[in-house]
A and B are shown apart, each in its own frame.
Chain A
Amino acid sequence: MARLTVGGSGRRALLIAFVSTVVFFGLIAFLVVNAPGWDQVRRQFFNWDNFFASAPGIVARFEVNVRLFLIAEVLILTLGLLVAVLRGLPGPVLFPLRLLATAYTDLFRAVPGLLVIYVLGFGVPGLRLPGVPNDPFFWGVVALTLVYSAYVSEVYRAGIDSVHPSQAAAARSLGLSQAQALRFVVLPQAVRRVIPPLLNDFIGLQKDTVLVSFIGVVEIFRQSQIRSSATFDFTPYLATALVFVLLTIPLARITDWLVAREKDRRYATSVRATGQRGRRGRFLGGGG
């Protein structure tokens, strides 16, 4: 289970955990502070004047990352689902579609995201085709969407596969078409099960929004770079890192909580189900 627990029980355990934490981090701090180059590092990374001077500009630039993230996320959830469904289509007629969807996921999971961003952000506008935008933000969204949808479609697919075929059979036996069975019976169950891994991918995407700085989008990372080269110190990066940490930690906790809840729920249902399957002697009392 992913919950953060002290381990053990009672006040004694709590005390031991506290002492060992203090000793552990104290030791690391001691080693860092007594390192030969500490003075220089402190000046370059922990310059509080620079920190407070650069922080407002950096936090303001974060708006670009948030916008990028939100737009891309909506597109990713849609495209990922579409690709997952395409890959699951039956029948020989639809083979080309399955092939295309498979090639897409293979390709975009293979190529490093940064390369995709470069190729789309510099290459496509470089063609100077009429009507094709050359806004780096636009191409940043497109590149991240293409890369992440490939991953997300695999997550969806695992979710779809985890729904027992008897569910689709029950839907079809009632006269629902293949598409209706997918839409009303299979997908709702599949999506519910993959919410935690999807959130996990969100965390990755959130961080990867900084990659679009490489094609000229002035977002939080680029902003800290600008500040950093103006003052010749790295403190702005510290501020940037802090922004991501503050955003990611709550999301990570929520994900853990959802995973734990899903696990509890599934465990509860499966115990119940086996209790009902056994012809004789149910070991769980009361079914209704």
Chain B
Amino acid sequence: MTTVSAPTLRIEALHKSFGDLEVLKGIDLAVAEHEVVCLIGASGSGKSTLLRCINLLEPIDDGRIFVAGEEITAHGVDVDRIRRHIGIVFQAFNLFPHMSVLDNVTLAPRRVLRTDRPAAEERATALLERFGLADKRLDYPDRLSGGQQQRVAIVRALAMEPRLLLLDEVTSALDPELIAEVLAVIRELAGEGMTMVIATHEMGFARDIANRVVFLDEGRVLEDGPPDRMFREPAEARTREFLQRIIEAGRL
């Protein structure tokens, strides 16, 4: 059932294990429409796993996930249909190397939404233009810089007009001078009201852009709150420790 007030994303008691290793130990999280949530936490705390579960790329062991009020983890839902509405961008870009930038972006609209080629290309070109990639549309991914590749990956996800966008450390594979251009794109999307869940190690960026920061610790949401409070006066000792380490590493 879809109601106006249903949050874009709601997760209830999500559990996920890889073999004996329990990675997510009961996650509860709700993300309202137009909200930007940043997931922070140590390496191995389960950020990527959580995002992959939301996109149904990993089967979950227990719990429920709702998108716009519909339970997507229910038996018999069409996962392909669900994924159309949830975009994900990976740390390693994962562009299709055998296709031009334009074909990367139009593949899903054409094959999944059955948009005809001229219409799909027109829309893709408009999107690429907006993000300063119009002149790269006929290039192959290996001709692009990392920053450009990652922006193409974001455009590729946007071409499906997702109602929720998941970003998994999209700048960690980039050289420092290329990070800014990708962050600018995300900032622009946030300004437009795109609902996003962003796993990131860029604390400065999280503080700028997030409506809410969620601290993940060993597979649990230890605390969450507005960035101001989270970064200035975290309630939990472990959050303080984590932020302390980040500050020492010069990344805040």
Q: Which residues of A come within 8 Å of B, CB atoms?
A: 166-167, 169-177, 180, 184-185, 188-189, 192, 269, 272, 276-280, 282, 287-288
Q: Does B75 contact A (CB under 8 A)?
A: no
**B160 in contact with A277 (CB, 8 Å):** no
Q: Does B232 contact A (CB under 8 A)?
A: no
Sample of 13 further A-B pairs with CB below 8 A, known A173-B55, A173-B86: A167-B94, A169-B94, A171-B107, A172-B57, A174-B84, A175-B81, A175-B83, A176-B107, A185-B96, A189-B98, A272-B142, A287-B145, A287-B175
| Shortest CB distance A207–B (Å) | 32
B145-201 contacts to A (CB < 8 Å): 145-148, 156-157, 160, 172-176, 178
Given A170-B94, A276-B175, answer yes or no on A177-B144 (Cβ-Cβ < 8 Å).
no
Chain B CB count within 10 A is highest, among A167, A175, A192, for A175
| Residues on the A chain within 8 Å of B148, using CB | 288
**A177 in contact with B173 (CB, 8 Å):** no
| Residues on the A chain within 8 Å of B88, using CB | 173
| Shortest CB distance A180–B (Å) | 5
B57-98 interface mask toward A, CB cutoff 8 Å, 1 = contact, 0 = none?
100000000000000000000001101101110101011111
| Residues on the A chain within 8 Å of B178, using CB | 287
Q: Does B29 contact A (CB under 8 A)?
A: no
Q: How many A-B residue pairs have CB under 8 A?
A: 83
| Residues on the B chain within 8 Å of A169, using CB | 57, 90, 94
| Residues on the A chain within 8 Å of B84, using CB | 174-175
- Give complex CA distance A5, B157 in Å: 48
Q: Which of B80, B97, B144 contacts A189 (CB 8 A)?
A: B97
| Residues on the B chain within 8 Å of A272, using CB | 142
Given A287-B145, A288-B144, answer yes or no on A184-B90 (Cβ-Cβ < 8 Å).
no
Dominant SS among interface residues on chain A: helix
- Give complex CA distance A150, B102 in Å: 37
Q: Which of A174, A189, A192, A280 contacts B107 (CB 8 A)?
A: A174
- Give complex CA distance A192, B96 in Å: 13
Q: Which of A167, A180, A185, A279 contacts B175 (CB 8 A)?
A: A279
Q: Which of B80, B81, B111 contacts A184 (CB 8 A)?
A: B111
Q: Does B32 contact A (CB under 8 A)?
A: no
**A176 in contact with B108 (CB, 8 Å):** yes
| Residues on the B chain within 8 Å of A170, using CB | 90, 94-96
- Give complex CA distance A282, B177 in Å: 11
Q: Does B112 contact A (CB under 8 A)?
A: yes
**A173 in contact with B174 (CB, 8 Å):** no
**B96 in contact with A176 (CB, 8 Å):** no
- Give complex CA distance A176, B82 in Å: 11
| Shortest CB distance B134–A (Å) | 14
| Residues on the B chain within 8 Å of A277, using CB | 173
| Residues on the A chain within 8 Å of B108, using CB | 174-176
**A166 in contact with B92 (CB, 8 Å):** yes
15 A-B residue pairs with CB within 8 Å? A166-B92, A170-B90, A170-B95, A172-B57, A173-B55, A173-B86, A174-B107, A175-B84, A185-B96, A185-B107, A189-B98, A192-B98, A278-B175, A280-B175, A287-B175
B201-246 contacts to A (CB < 8 Å): none
